Amino acid sequence: MKHIFLIALFSGLLFFSCTQTEKEIKIGYVQINEDEVLNVAKEALIKILADSGYVDGENIKLVDNNAQGDLSMVTTILQSFNARGVDMVITNSTPCMAGAAQMVRDAPVVFTVAFGPRQIGMKNAPLNLYGYYDPLHCEEIIGLIEECVPHIKRVGLPYNNAEPNAEFAAKTFIAEFEKRGIEVVTATVNSSNDISMVGQYLAGKNIDAMLVTGDNTVYKGLNLLSKIAGESKIPLFVTDPLQSKKGAAVGFGINYERWGQLSGTKAVNLLKGRTVPNKIEPVEGLELIINTEACEQQGLVLPQGIVDKASCIL
């Protein structure tokens, strides 16, 4: 009996020792700003982790950071992840993905809600970068705008050229609009505090519609831009569908919940040590959200064919 007791005691001590020294999985999460739409992707991604057995506070530590719209803060946050030796970095938004691709070398980086590295000028994506990107269905989006506003000759495009995603999206849309004979009036937004001035400027340029695409800064102040669009009877379109909840008439683009789920699945496969052959992939499929109150305020009467295609009508 004495031998059995000693064996049991030794086994218990061994188990305790193993659980005490077991390596904690630390995941660094960084998001460009506090935005309800970006949070949809974040929540979907974290739910995929939890459903797969990776629960914050239990077997993983999620180091959650928000840059509050400050691009320099993204760098500081990523430096802190490197210093803490996190096991994985998850980014939400293009600026965060771009920063992590440049700064994080010793851990896998999984991105969501972003353009791809090649789209923003990276010649070669680092080997530790994984995620899903927006292929930017520019032709389909402009085609939809032309159906909604058949007489369109001039469109207003506010954007922050300090954001690589906004710069890429603006250049892509400008080229396609001009190919179709539609003039583009641009206005630079340095911070969300510029939205009122920029919105009034564009409203005074005899534009037939406004478009916001892939721009975290402008989306942060979209409620104000929507108000100006309503006062000026100018239809406001967005390429992030859920942003239509802030007062855009029509949103046409990728479903953010699905985006977060897809990126979360890549993160789970990496955590489980599985091979991930397709490191960087486009998100397929588009959704159309119509805000009927905003349409009325902005003087937009939609063709029934467009209404019938809507994924959601607010």
pLDDT value, residue 228: 96
> 111 lies in a domain?
yes
My answer on whether 121 and 174 are in the same domain is: no
My answer on whether 244 and 215 are in the same domain is: yes
Structure token pair of residue 173: 């849309």
> 52 lies in a domain?
yes
> 194 lies in a domain?
yes
Q: What is the DSSP string of 174-214?
A: HHHHHHTT-EEEEEE-SSGGGHHHHHHHHHTTT-SEEEE-S
> 42 lies in a domain?
yes
**Is the per-residue pLDDT at 16 higher than 80?**
no
Q: What is the rounded distance in angstroms from the CA atom of residue 103 to the CA atom of residue 79? A: 8
Those residues with Cβ within 8 angstroms of residue 181's Cβ, 6 or more apart along the chain or in another chain: none
> 7 lies in a domain?
no
> 178 lies in a domain?
yes
My answer on whether 225 and 294 are in the same domain is: yes
Strands 250-253 and 287-290: antiparallel
CA 72-192-145 angle, to 5 degrees, is 115
Instruction: Please say whether the dihedral angle defined by the alpha carbons of residues 137, 114, 119 and 152, taken in this order, is positive or negative.
Output: positive
**Is the per-residue pLDDT at 19 higher than 50?**
no
Q: What is the rounded distance in angstroms from the CA atom of residue 241 to the CA atom of residue 236? A: 12
Closest CA to 151 of 306, 300, 307: 300
> 278 lies in a domain?
yes
My answer on whether 204 and 306 are in the same domain is: yes
My answer on whether 215 and 189 are in the same domain is: yes
> 119 lies in a domain?
yes
**Is the per-residue pLDDT at 10 higher than 80?**
no
My answer on whether 267 and 249 are in the same domain is: no
CATH number at residue 84: 3.40.50.2300
Helix (H, G, I), strand (E, B) or coil at 110: strand
My answer on whether 260 and 238 are in the same domain is: no
My answer on whether 78 and 208 are in the same domain is: no
Q: Which of the four pLDDT bands, split at 50, 70 and 90, describes residue 214?
A: confident
* Domains of the chain: total: 2
Burial class for 174, CB neighbours closer than 10 Å (0-12, 13-18, 19+): middle
My answer on whether 210 and 307 are in the same domain is: yes
pLDDT value, residue 24: 79
Closest CA to 165 of 214, 118, 92: 214
My answer on whether 277 and 294 are in the same domain is: no
Give backbone dihedrals phi and psi of 72, rounded to 5 degrees, phi first: -70, -30
My answer on whether 201 and 301 are in the same domain is: yes
pLDDT value, residue 75: 96
Tens digits of residue pLDDT in 63-111: 999 999 899 999 999 999 999 999 999 999 999 999 999 999 999 999 9
My answer on whether 92 and 186 are in the same domain is: no
DSSP classification of residue 23: P
Tens digits of residue pLDDT in 110-123: 999 999 999 998 98
Share of the chain above pLDDT 90, in %: 80
Q: Which domain holds residue 147?
A: 138-253+287-313
**Is the per-residue pLDDT at 246 higher than 70?**
yes
